[in-house]
Amino acid sequence: MLKQYKLKNFKFILIVYVVTLSVIGALLVGSASPGDQKKQVIGIASGIAIMLVLSVIDYSFILRFSWLIYFFSIAMLVLVKAVGSDSKGAQRWFEIGGFRFQPSELVKVLMILFFAYYFMKYEEKINTAGVVFGSLFLVGIPLALIVLQPNLSMTIITALVFAALLFVAGLSYRVVGGILAVSVPSFLILMSLIIQDKVPFIRVYQIGRIMGWLYPDDYPDIAYQQQNSIMAIGSGQLWGKGLNNTDSTSVKNGNFILEPQNDFIFAVAGEELGFVGTAVIIILLLFITIECIFIARKAKDMAGRLIACGMAALIGFQSVVNIGVASGMLPNTGVTLPFVSYGLTSLWSLYIGIGLVLNVGLQPKKY
């Protein structure tokens, strides 16, 4: 389980990127919602401890329990649907005292672990119908359970990460090309059907968000949050208005953005830290993603490569979606900004993933 590692292989730079971004996040959370800052700091401190412990546990040992990890994930998703806490029509959380735990956040990372094992086991048969359709069936179960919460945004992120894992595992370019040839026009048709309210699994509020994004002037009651976010980002100009400012013209201070410490934390960053501050956040997210890819390139086996690439995909996709929503480039959807938004489950899950990536880095392939 524990090995003798060489200190020179420990990726301290990745820890620096992650901790720096987390500190910026804690400052922004404190400005957006002062009452949540203490919990965020506790989450960061405990997350760092979890990350460091996992960084020295051989990921190959953890992968021995892959099927247990998979069924544990399914059990959590089933249980939260059965007895989870309901909020605003969604049943996604367990309430434990004053703490809320969102299983789907952790499941994203656990699915990376499971499919790292699965695709390594069938590495030589990755392009066979049995392996491809088998993996689609296995990922379909948790995706369906997450959709039922409902949590469409989390479903999309998890599906994108799975697609990235399948590609990195060695799926044939011909298969990828065929999938794209089908999926691109299918997406356009789906969007057309959504606009016409002819898709049964898309809920009314989700259609409203898409319509508000496409036609903000026609749906001001739906689009106001996103429009205010765009206004906040632009108002910060180059250097921003400063953290914890009392500016009466502040979009955040005027409570024009609901729950700014979560999904719209990037709007707070834009207003208070300006272009420079948001650029720093984006660069740090980019550096974390790139460092995970660099670690993947030197991984000793397929599983290590998939773990590191899976976390790169998770952080990259989730960052693009969150920032895209805050800046009006994508429809409004509830996705946190990695290491920046408030949320202990999200923080711990990401730190677990980074701890696993660090362990992959500690075991580079031998040339």
Contact 93, 100 (CB under 8 A): yes
Name which of 286, 307, 316, 346 is nearest 54 in CA terms: 307
Residue indicated by tokens 């992650």: 18
pLDDT confidence of residue 197: 60
| Domain assignment present for 288 | yes
For 29-62, the pLDDT digits (tens) are 998 888 889 999 999 999 999 999 999 999 999 9
How many CA atoms within 13 Å lie on the side-chain side of 70?
Answer: 17
Contact 70, 137 (CB under 8 A): no
Residue 295 DSSP SS3: helix
Q: Looking at per-residue confidence, does 215 or 45 come out higher?
A: 45
The amino acid at 112:
I
Which pair of tokens denotes residue 132?
């491809």
Contact 91, 125 (CB under 8 A): no
| Domain assignment present for 17 | yes
| Domain assignment present for 84 | no
User: For the chain, what is the domain count?
Assistant: 1
Q: Is the pLDDT of residue 318 over 90?
A: yes
Q: Is the pLDDT of residue 201 over 60?
A: no
Q: Is the pLDDT of residue 296 over 70?
A: yes
| Residue span of the structural domain in which 323 resides | 7-61+152-362
Name which of 235, 263, 265 is nearest 248 in CA terms: 235
DSSP 20-78: HHHHHHHHHHHHH-HHHHHHHHHHHHHHHHHHHHHHTB-HHHHGGGHHHHHHHHHHHHH
| Domain assignment present for 230 | yes
Name which of 149, 152, 43 is nearest 94 in CA terms: 149
Q: What's the average model confidence in pLDDT over 264-285?
A: 94
Q: What's the average model confidence in pLDDT over 312-331?
A: 92
| Domain assignment present for 130 | no
CA distances, 327 to each of 77, 212, 232 (Å): 31, 14, 10
pLDDT confidence of residue 151: 81
Tell me the pTM.
Answer: 0.91
Q: Is the pLDDT of residue 195 over 80?
A: no
For residues 339 and 345, give the distance between their C-alpha atoms in angstroms, rounded to a whole number. 11
pLDDT confidence of residue 207: 67
| Domain assignment present for 219 | yes
Q: What is the DSSP letter of 101?
A: E
Name which of 309, 315, 314 is nearest 360 in CA terms: 309
Q: Is 86 left (phi over 0), alpha (psi -120 to 50) or beta?
A: beta
pLDDT confidence of residue 229: 87
State the CB neighbour count (10 A cutoff) for residue 206. Answer: 18
CA distances, 362 to each of 3, 87, 168, 274, 317 (Å): 10, 42, 21, 37, 25
For residues 304 and 234, give the distance between their C-alpha atoms in angstroms, rounded to a whole number. 41
The dihedrals phi and psi of 349, each to the nearest 5 degrees, come to -60, -45
For 100-151, the pLDDT digits (tens) are 788 889 999 999 999 999 999 998 888 888 998 899 999 999 998 988 887 8
Q: Looking at per-residue confidence, does 137 or 252 come out higher?
A: 137
| Domain assignment present for 66 | no
For 173-193, the pLDDT digits (tens) are 777 776 666 666 766 676 666
| Domain assignment present for 111 | no
For 151-174, the pLDDT digits (tens) are 878 888 998 999 899 999 988 877
Mean pLDDT of the chain: 86
